[in-house]
Amino acid sequence: MAFEDLLDDPVVQKYLHELVGPKGMPVAVSPPDGEVTDEELAERLGLELNDVRRALFILYENDLATYRRVRDEDSGWLTYLWTFEYENVPGNLREEMDRLLEALVERRQYELDNEFYLCEVCSIRFEFGEAMDLGFECPECGSAVEAMENTDLVEAMDERIEDLRSELAVEA
């Protein structure tokens, strides 16, 4: 996928937004060609230097940016030259989807293995043991807690798990 196409993909945009947040999005969606300093990016994008540095560090932590340090011989100051590595985005998205699938499978099993009770006034959900310890009474409002059916939730998880497995081309 070409670099420009990658940044036009709404899934990639959402992923970058989740990583860097709204203040970091201008940095994430407008990577320069070649190396650039954080100061140059801040000036070019009209952003606070700290916001640019935060976004760059998050991109670095996620293998989407690299840097090299250069020491100014006169002042001794270090300058960081940043390069964006967006060819790693598809692999990172795959890892995120793998983690999501694993978490959904675990949560589905938790939903199947437990019996739940709900306070319909406070919308607080309790496992059976906790509800029993509370005398099947909500500790917040004193209302009785009622057995909760979670079949719809498990079915929705099943659909999402199946979609993810299909997308990732993995079997159960």
Question: For the chain, what is the domain count?
Answer: 2
pLDDT of residue 2: 53
Q: Are residues 71 and 97 in the same domain?
A: no
Least Cα distance to 128 among 143, 113, 142 occurs for 113
Q: Are residues 59 and 121 in the same domain?
A: no
Confidence of residue 168 (pLDDT cuts 50, 70, 90): confident
Q: State phi, psi for 10 to the nearest 5 degrees.
A: -60, -30
pLDDT of residue 7: 77
Least Cα distance to 37 among 83, 75, 1 occurs for 83
Query: Domain range holding 56?
Result: 3-84
Confidence of residue 49 (pLDDT cuts 50, 70, 90): very high
Q: Three-state DSSP class for 68?
A: strand
Confidence of residue 33 (pLDDT cuts 50, 70, 90): confident
pLDDT of residue 163: 92
Neighbours of 91 (CB within 10 A): 10
Is 6's pLDDT higher than 80? no
Among 42, 59, 84, where does a domain finish?
84
Q: Quick one: tokens of 27?
A: 């940095």
Q: Is the pTM of this model over 0.75?
A: no
Dist. CA 150–CA 159, nearest whole Å: 14
How do residues 58-116 score in pLDDT, each as one tens digit? 999 999 999 999 998 889 899 999 999 888 898 999 999 999 999 999 999 999 999 99
Q: Are residues 96 and 163 in the same domain?
A: yes
Burial of residue 24 (number of CB atoms within 10 Å: 0-12, 13-18, 19+): buried
Q: Quick one: tokens of 7?
A: 């940044």
Is 126's pLDDT higher than 60? yes
Q: Are residues 153 and 105 in the same domain?
A: yes
CATH number at residue 58: 1.10.10.10
pLDDT of residue 1: 45
pLDDT of residue 155: 97
